[in-house]
Chain A
Amino acid sequence: MSFQPVKFYQTGTFTVGNRLLPDAERSVQSTVRRTNSLNSGHRACQGCGEALGARYAIDAAMEATNGQLIAANATGCLEVFSTPYPETSWQIPWIHSLFGNTAAVGTGIAAAMRVKGRSDVRVVAQGGDGGTTDIGFGCLSGMFERNDDVLYICYDNGAYMNTGVQRSSATPSAARTATTMAVGPTPGNEFGQGKDLPLIAMAHGIPYVATALVSDLRDLEAKVLRAMEFRGARYLHILVPCPLGWGHDSSLTIRMARLAKETGIYPVFEAENGEVTGVSKIRRQLPVEEYLKPQKRFAHLFSPKPREDVIRRIQAKADANIRKYGLLEPQA
């Protein structure tokens, strides 16, 4: 094994462990082969979960394809902070067309590669939750239904952060956004609304669907690598905390993602051909307050008057996730 100096980046957990591991067992982020597909110098906010998620995911996809990768990108934070002309942070062939058509642009690229006999070149389409669950949903569903050879990655921060934190169909219940203000008798986003896109993706019967978090680098990378083993439509939903929109300290991005998992609010699982094949277990379930409290978008649940009724409903949803996906490890 040859040793080369490795530039040190924050890589979530296992960082030190990585450096002690044989090269082949290291995370992509900790190897010298890491491509820095989304290079440094971009204009994302401090603590941006999406920038982290995109680099992790695309570097892993580059590893899986031996660098033969083309990306289509929806309008949104990721597109804006990475490409103010004439600078670009992308080290891969990359196209931004519109807000709502990214999956279809991916289909077009994949069709071009097929017609040219370039089966080695693979395609990723990516966007935020607005570009995925709302305005881009038609094109995404079409891409799924035709089983086009595209990996679609949604970086879900639960609102339209680029335009100033407006509600999307991925905004969690009770969350304050600029269009679901913390006023009136039911402050924040309504209960009983929103889309569960990973389940909708599974209902299309596509080969591979997974959820991931920026707090679990190895799991995220493993899911990208697994996704690239399949041909056809694949979907990866990554929860990416947003310090700006969620109103948490920018040093807490990884912690917020980890809490989303450990409270049961965000189930981490993978599914093949419409059936769940694996879940990331929770060692010890944490109460949802631990996730909600550090976020200003939920501040109205704690002051001026605690809204225990609302918190109970959020807790009930987390408990339901834990039951549904079997997230809790059996107690010894």
Chain B
Amino acid sequence: MLKQIEGSRAVAEAVALCRPEVICAYPISPQTHIVEGLGEMVKAGELKPCEFINVESEFAAMSVAIGASAAGARAYTATASQGLLFMAEAVFNAAGLGLPIVMTVANRAIGAPINIWNDHTDSMSQRDCGWIQLFAETNQEALDLHILAFRVAEELSIPVMVCMDGFILTHAYERVDMPAQAQVDAFLPPFEPRQVLDPQDPVSMGAMVGPEAFMEVRYLAHVKQMQVLDLMPGWADDFRKAFGRDSGGLFHTYRMEDADTVVVALGSVLGTIKDTVDGLRDKGLKIGVLGITCFRPWPTAAIRQALAGAKTVIVIEKSFGVGLGGIVSANVRTSYSGSLDAVYTVVAGLGGRPITRESLARVIHEVLDGNAPALTFLDLNRAAVDRFLAREREKRRTGPAAEALIKDVGLVTAQLR
């Protein structure tokens, strides 16, 4: 059924269609509307049987989900940013225990400085935690990926994180096609746990494992993640048959047919990138887009194949490994057979800075003209940073950097006016 609704509401309704049995909620922007929506459905008796638990922290949210999932219940929670970091120990633990929890991450920057707007630093900080990570480009895809996530999680007994851009998707009203309950029921069978806390068949879960078997347990987790790469096309086929549209898969390509330049990205910025690429195509550039849906497991072989014809690869990413550069691009480099000098990193949109077509087109031209360094920061106010560095050379007590920079940027803006 077509609906014009907020992204968070779309996700809440999709999760409800998946018949979750335990939902844990702790408020953090920009995720809150999702659990608010689900809480209302549970309270009104529209979603049952389901327990909605208002916990005291994100650490507790994931821990309650761990207990519920281990006891055989379909468990769901949502978080963002600081919340994901606060639950990090339990995030790793859920993966280590092999519990098929589904969690939405409404992607948001990490402080300090505190910032509520969108980038991918939160999800990227957990990229090696053992969860499957799927990134949504649109609200329709966010909705669809949640339905897929429960299926994937429960088939393999691995938790799945569905990442959607905070505010840009969560708070945007878009048209979505909401499936019917019967369609979801046909696609997603009831949860049959591989391991469960059951008094009739007692097991010990989370036992200590020493050096004699720890490597094997970790390697098994890797093997299971790798299975996702083989199984994903089949799930995507099933999804298409059940819902009549394409969703999921490992990645999407756009105008890649003869492209010698490929822009790689994930999340909602792909829309802007596609528009930019359309404009560049009109000017005769052979350029295409590779939008990554499945970031973990990383589809090494498939991406290598997709990038086989590319002479230049430009990774636009909303994440930043301080002291290194790009995180997504570091992954892309493992999957590119050409010269690594041909892979460019553009860090963009940190802390919610708008990524415009104009800026994207400019940076792409700079790369292709040979005028861009390997690591570029889109629309960075380098002068403000240089002024701060100069002040640090002049005196010892320069005060908090964030305050100094915002004051500087503010003053400059005032002068421009």
Contacts and interface: CB of A to CB of B under 8 A. Distances in A.
Interface of A: 67-70, 72-73, 79-80, 83-86, 88, 90-98, 100-101, 104-117, 121, 138-139, 141-142, 145-146
Contacts of B209: 85
Contact of A104 (B21, B64, B202): B64
Given A101-B60, A108-B75, A115 B199 contact: no
Contact of B71 (A68, A83, A109): A109
Nearest to A62: B199
A86 to B, nearest CB: 8
B205 A96 contact: yes
Interface of B: 21-22, 24, 49-51, 53-57, 59-60, 62-73, 75, 89-90, 93, 97, 197-199, 201-210, 213
Nearest to A122: B199
A111 B64 contact: yes
A38 to B, nearest CB: 11
Q: Taking each of A94, A97, A106, which has the highest tally of chain B beta carbons within 10 Å of its own beta carbon?
A: A97
Q: Taking each of B57, B60, B65, B201, which has the highest tally of chain A beta carbons within 10 Å of its own beta carbon?
A: B60
Nearest to B59: A101
A88 B208 CA distance: 10
Contacts of B22: 108, 111-112, 115
B56 A93 contact: no
A105 B197 contact: no
Given A88-B207, A92-B199, A93-B199, A109 B67 contact: yes
Contacts of B60: 101, 104, 107, 138-139, 142
A91 B202 contact: yes
Contacts, number: 157
A72 B67 CA distance: 8
Nearest to B197: A93
B100 to A, nearest CB: 13
Nearest to A84: B208
B237 to A, nearest CB: 32
A141 B56 contact: yes
25 contacts: A70-B71, A84-B210, A85-B209, A85-B210, A86-B213, A93-B201, A94-B204, A94-B205, A96-B208, A97-B93, A98-B93, A101-B59, A101-B66, A101-B90, A105-B66, A107-B53, A109-B71, A111-B73, A112-B22, A112-B73, A117-B49, A138-B60, A139-B57, A139-B60, A145-B56
Contact of A142 (B56, B205, B210): B56
A142 B57 contact: yes
Contact of B204 (A69, A90, A116, A146): A90
Given A91-B202, A138-B59, A104 B67 contact: yes
